[in-house]
Amino acid sequence: MKIGIVGMGAFSDDFVKLFTLHPDVEEVVVADLDETRVQKAMEKHHIKRGYTSYEELLEKADDVDSIAIFTQRHLHGPMIVKALKAGKHVYSAVPIGCTLEEIEEIVKLAGETRQIYMMGETCYYYPCAIYCREKYATGEMGKFVYGESQYYHDICEMYGDYQRSGGERWRRVAGIPPMFYPTHSISMLFSAINEHAVKVSCMGYRDNHEDDIFGEDKNNWANPFSNETAIFQMSGGGIARINEFRRVGINKPSSYITCFYGEKGAYECSITNHSYQRGIASGEEPYVEDVGPLVNTIDYNEDLKNGTMDMSKDPISIKYIQGPAKIQDYSRLPKSFRETVSRNHYNSHPFLVDDFVRAVKTGKLPPNNAWESARYMIPGLIAHESALRGGELLDVPDLGDAPVDWEKLTFEPYEE
């Protein structure tokens, strides 16, 4: 496969590297509006073809069969539609799109053309999400009753991320409604229970900070809220509480499941404390188990075991809340990926790139496909509408399951 990667900002660098290293990728070409970013990426990753816009890449590199989109978050929807219409398979960073119409069109195109669309949802491969998904699938936890997950990311002026590509008017984009970027928090919980949202009530924190990011006249979405809290009624009857905060005094981790309760068992987390508990209804002796050895990063567990953790200096060091964890299945990755641990986002990037390449190669449906991505994103769009209406209870539209005759991707180890 040949892939065109669009957007050479801060996030794509690791993905350019991984696509270049994957044994089933023949060529990577890149594009950005900023020529210096294109040059830098080409030199660093030994890339032969670079372009100064998405349109130019589509036109001049029409031999690429796949596109990966890493432009700013509000630009994805129309770019994905364009690539699908041009007959390409598409990977995009989160989110899939920022309007219901965009997402409906992507789902329709994916269904009609059977081209792959996959959203690169890093949190799908976060250790806590894998733990809850796998544990819940055993049936041991009983039916899902309630869960809480969140994505906390303070985007105050000091943070600087939106200034990088937004110029003087960066606030117009930084003020995007928090629930227009809900896929990290939602995917962790919803993918574990394999249900979708049917109703939502959401409250917004009206932000009056002097940095002027949030407010009806201050951003492109007339969004007054920096923080939003939504309560979803799920299709199986359970309840999910989702927080999306953009002004909050927290460091890390930024995305995590706080609690996940079934009728018989539960997972709870507080930073690096992860427990699994069995209740009396399980029919067995109730107990609490420390599942940190599986869910915490390997670095954390090793330093804990060796007594080399200096809590006075660095209580929760970045190395303890990034990087790989034992629960992730490395044996399925190609050799070149197993040798290249990417610390960012709990080493989720290699799994995402490998999912997409396998899907393109086999034509099978990957996780985080168009239908699942729609179910991670649309609830947030409706939640924001509810917040604007003071918490009014609203129905969440559902675009349904992926076609039943589309075989799902499996993850046999590579023969290398």
Ligand X SMILES: NC(=O)c1ccc[n+]([C@@H]2O[C@H](COP(=O)([O-])OP(=O)(O)OC[C@H]3O[C@@H](n4cnc5c(N)ncnc54)[C@H](O)[C@@H]3O)[C@@H](O)[C@H]2O)c1
> What part of residues 339-358 is at the interface with ligand X (CB under 6 A)?
345
Task: Quote the CA–CA distance of 366 and 383 in Å, as a whole number.
Answer: 27
The reply to whether 47 sits near ligand X by the rule CB under 6 A is: no
Task: Specify the residue for token string 């219901």.
Answer: 100
Choice from 24, 34, 216, 290 touching ligand X (CB under 6 A): 34
Closer to ligand X by CB, 150 or 201: give it.
150
Question: Own/partner pairs for 281-289, CB < 8 Å, 24+ apart?
Answer: 281/142, 282/140, 282/142
Choice from 5, 21, 25, 31 touching ligand X (CB under 6 A): 31
Task: Quote the CA–CA distance of 197 and 184 in Å, as a whole number.
Answer: 15
Please give the span between the terminal C-alpha atoms of the chain, in angstroms, as a whole number. Answer: 18
Choice from 40, 45, 73, 199 touching ligand X (CB under 6 A): 73
Please report the DSSP string for 91-138 in residue order: EEESPS-SSHHHHHHHHHHHHHH---EEEE-GGGGSHHHHHHHHHHHT
- Least Å distance, CB 158 to ligand X, is 16
Choice from 3, 19, 21, 37 touching ligand X (CB under 6 A): 37
Cβ partners under 8 Å of residue 73, min gap 6:
93, 94, 95, 98, 176, 180, 181
The reply to whether 248 sits near ligand X by the rule CB under 6 A is: no
Report which residue type is found at 215.
Answer: G
- Least Å distance, CB 228 to ligand X, is 17
The reply to whether 411 sits near ligand X by the rule CB under 6 A is: no
- Least Å distance, CB 142 to ligand X, is 31
* Joined tokens for residue 110: 């994916």
Closer to ligand X by CB, 9 or 397: give it.
9
Closer to ligand X by CB, 6 or 234: give it.
6
Closer to ligand X by CB, 177 or 238: give it.
177
Task: Specify the residue for token string 């044994």.
Answer: 23
- Least Å distance, CB 175 to ligand X, is 15
The reply to whether 289 sits near ligand X by the rule CB under 6 A is: no
- Least Å distance, CB 121 to ligand X, is 7
Closer to ligand X by CB, 73 or 252: give it.
73
Size of interface with ligand X, in residues (CB under 6 A): 26
The reply to whether 71 sits near ligand X by the rule CB under 6 A is: yes
Please report the DSSP string for 177-207 in residue order: -GGGS-HHHHHHHHHHHT--EEEEEEEEEE-
Choice from 94, 96, 119, 189 touching ligand X (CB under 6 A): 94
Closer to ligand X by CB, 6 or 103: give it.
6
Choice from 15, 17, 28, 32 touching ligand X (CB under 6 A): 32
> What part of residues 134-173 is at the interface with ligand X (CB under 6 A)?
161, 164-165
Q: Which residue is nearest to ligand X (CB)?
A: 9
* Joined tokens for residue 315: 């209580």
CA distances from 6 to 223, 242, 248, 303, 307 (A): 28, 31, 31, 39, 45
* Residue 334: cis peptide before it, omega within 30 degrees of 0: no
> What part of residues 5-24 is at the interface with ligand X (CB under 6 A)?
6-12
Closer to ligand X by CB, 161 or 212: give it.
161
The reply to whether 188 sits near ligand X by the rule CB under 6 A is: no
CA distances from 113 to 89, 193, 209, 277, 403 (A): 10, 29, 47, 45, 12
Positions touching ligand X (CB under 6 A) are 6-12, 31-34, 37, 53-54, 70-73, 75, 93-94, 122, 161, 164-165, 345
